[in-house]
Every structure is written in structure tokens, then in C-alpha cells.
A = this chain, B = another copy of it.
Amino acid sequence: MADWLTPDEWRAVALSLRVSFWATLVSLPLGVMVAYALARWDFWGKQVLNGIVHLPLILPPVVTGYLLLVTFGRKGTVGLYLDQWFGIVFAFRWTGAALAAGIMAFPLMVRAIRLAIEAVDPRLEQAAGTLGASRPWVFATVTLPLILPGIIAGAILAFAKAMGEFGATITFVSNIPGQTQTMPSAIYALLQVPGGDAQAARLVWIAIAIAMSALLLSEWVARAVARRISGT
């Protein structure tokens, strides 16, 4: 493999995997929380939250990237303090790419999980309550297992989106080989070069192969979970 991929490409593949994995993993708990709040609670500003979650979908990715840059950049409103107080820097790091990917994928993840939560029969949650389970326990022992297919769907959507994310990422953290050059960035760069198409196509195939594997895996897991729930 190392033969037919340049080290830069190779690094792009590894980086994309790392970015997508962490973007998905870290945003998952938050996604579940937000989805739960949107599905089940009524609170002031609910529609505002809902809107904010959808924002990355609506905005051209470049805009999201700029917003990220001015917010989480080294001199950004938030980035500045994260750096000063916690030493956390997103700008031009792979973590920033993960942040961008996570945010771009967030609406997809939340919507999938939310749909799953809305489909849970509240009477089962009531039953758990009468058996002594408090709200958090009901969530952990009844709601969560029942929405697992939705969580898997949300995670795979997020992962796929993170693998393909380009506009916001390149705008936010630029396109630095080995650090922030994900596969889409690498493909983009190759497409800018006369004769880079063949090389780009190779990367595209790799991206497809990775995403398909993840997809198949998720389908398989979701199926196993669904079978368990349907009881056969």
C-alpha cells in the first residue's frame, strides 16, 4: 500500500480516520443529550437550540469555517481563552479538523438520534419508573438501549460526513499535510494540479472503501441490535 500512496497521502488517510473517529466519538454524548432535550423537554429557547444545531447544515461550509476561525482560532473569542486557561488549541491542529467535522456532522447525528427517541414508547419508560428507576436510570436502562439503532445511525452519518467534510475544515484549519490535510483536502489539492486527477481518484476510492466498511459494520450492528429487541 505504501507503494502506491505517497507519504502525504498516506498521512491524509490516517488523519481523516483519526479526525472522523474522534469527531464522532466526542460529539456522540453531546448529540444524545441535545437530541433528548429536543425530543422530550419543553424549555425556553428550545427552537433557538434547534436552530443552532441545524446551522452548519444551512450555512455554506466556508462560512462555518470562518465562524470557527474567528471563534476557536488562536485569536478567536473562545480560542483565546481556551488557549490561555486550558492550553487547548484547535487552530491548525488535527483537533481543529475534528472540531470542524464534528460540528458539520452534528445536525445529522442529532436528527437521527432524536427521531429514535421520539419513537420510544413512553409507556415503557413509565413502567421503568414504577419499578423504582429514577429519570437518569430510566434513560440508561430503557431509553438508551431502545434508541441504540438510532445512535448507530447517527454515528455512521456523522462519521461519513466527517470523512467527506472539506469546506469548513480547510477554511478553519487550512490544509497542512500531516496535520490538517484530511483526505478531502488532499483530493482538493490534487484536483488543482494539472494531471492530479488519477491520484485524486485513488484517494476517492480509498475514502469510499473506508466509508463503506464503516457503513457495513454499522448496518450489521444495527441489525443485531434490532434482532435482539424484536426478540428472535
Residues of A near any B CB (own CB < 8 A): 47, 50-51, 54-63, 66, 107-108, 111-112, 114-116, 118-119, 149-150, 153, 157, 160-161, 163-164, 166-167, 183-184, 187-188, 191, 200, 204, 207-208, 211-212, 215-216, 219, 226
Contact = CB atoms under 8 A, between A and B. Distances in A.
Nearest to A186: B60
Contact of A57 (B55, B115, B160, B219): B160
Contacts of A153: 111, 114-115
B66 A191 contact: yes
A108 B157 contact: yes
Contacts of A111: 108, 112, 153, 157
B216 A62 contact: no
Given A63-B200, A119-B116, A150-B115, A58 B163 contact: yes
Nearest to A222: B118
B188 A62 contact: yes
Given A57-B161, A58-B211, A114-B153, 9 more contacts: A51-B212, A58-B208, A59-B184, A59-B204, A59-B208, A60-B164, A62-B188, A112-B115, A115-B153
B215 A50 contact: yes
Contacts of A183: 60
A63 B187 contact: yes
Nearest to A51: B212
A58 B164 contact: yes
A54 B149 contact: no
Contacts of A57: 157, 160-161, 164, 211
Contact of A187 (B62, B112, B191, B219): B62
A207 B108 contact: no
A118 B116 CA distance: 9
A137 to B, nearest CB: 23
A188 to B, nearest CB: 6
A116 B149 CA distance: 11
